Chains A and B, each alone.
Chain A
Amino acid sequence: GNSVTQMEGPVTLSEEAFLTINCTYTATGYPSLFWYVQYPGEGLQLLLKATKADDKGSNKGFEATYRKETTSFHLEKGSVQVSDSAVYFCALLVYQGNQFYFGTGTSLTVIP
């Protein structure tokens, strides 16, 4: 079946630390992959996406590379800020049947 597995949180980092949030997936066919961010008290916002293998999505200093060989889409940022504190969701879209799947979310807290 199709699914997304994210590293469990919560994750707490100091400001300017390096961030990695792991995401692996299982999917039939060739899915598109996404990262969404949810700030406290708000809905989700699309952060970045990649639609085919080896694509790199990037936005606001965050990056993720679609790795078909390891079925992964890990989120990285070189230097986190307090304002990055949020919950991050990995997701995939399987075009056959147009099914969209979210991971369970990873809570990130950045402390000054």
Chain B
Amino acid sequence: DGGITQSPKYLFRKEGQNVTLSCEQNLNHDAMYWYRQDPGQGLRLIYYSQIVNDFQKGDIAEGYSVSREKKESFPLTVTSAQKNPTAFYLCASSSQDLGLQPQHFGDGTRLSIL
């Protein structure tokens, strides 16, 4: 079945440590997204990529970095510069011909600080 796979489901980070969240899709979608979800808030866009080797900052990109070396993969690195990284992170994808509307979401990664 086609879909988006995020791993790990739960992730713990020590202070000052960088961690990378994986997102893989086999839907052949051009666009991929990373969102952050906090209690009582909507989803906030961190980064998005419409094509391989290109990505754009979203609303809250500070303290995060991404890469898009392959169409199927869009890993997110939470750097030590992100002061409040504890959140639920969602990866999404969409096909370009339907505009920038996230169509498929992964099951998320919950990041916590030790």
Q: Considering the complex, give the chain A residue whose CB is closest to the CB of B44.
A: A102
Q: Are B107 and A93 in contact (CB under 8 A)?
A: no
Bound-complex Cα distance A43 to B42 (A)? 13
- Neighbour of B99 across the interface among A42, A43, A98, CB < 8 A: A98
Report yes or no: B100 in contact with A98, Cβ–Cβ below 8 A.
yes
* Closest-CB distance, B88 to chain A (whole angstroms): 9
Chain A residue numbers with a CB within 8 Å of B100 are 93, 98-100
* Size bin of chain A's contact surface: 20 to 34
Contact A42 B42 (CB under 8 A): no
B46 at interface by CB-CB < 8 Å: no
Interface presence of A18 (CB below 8 A): no
The interface of chain B, by Cβ under 8 A from chain A, is: 4, 6, 35, 40-45, 90-92, 99-103, 105-108
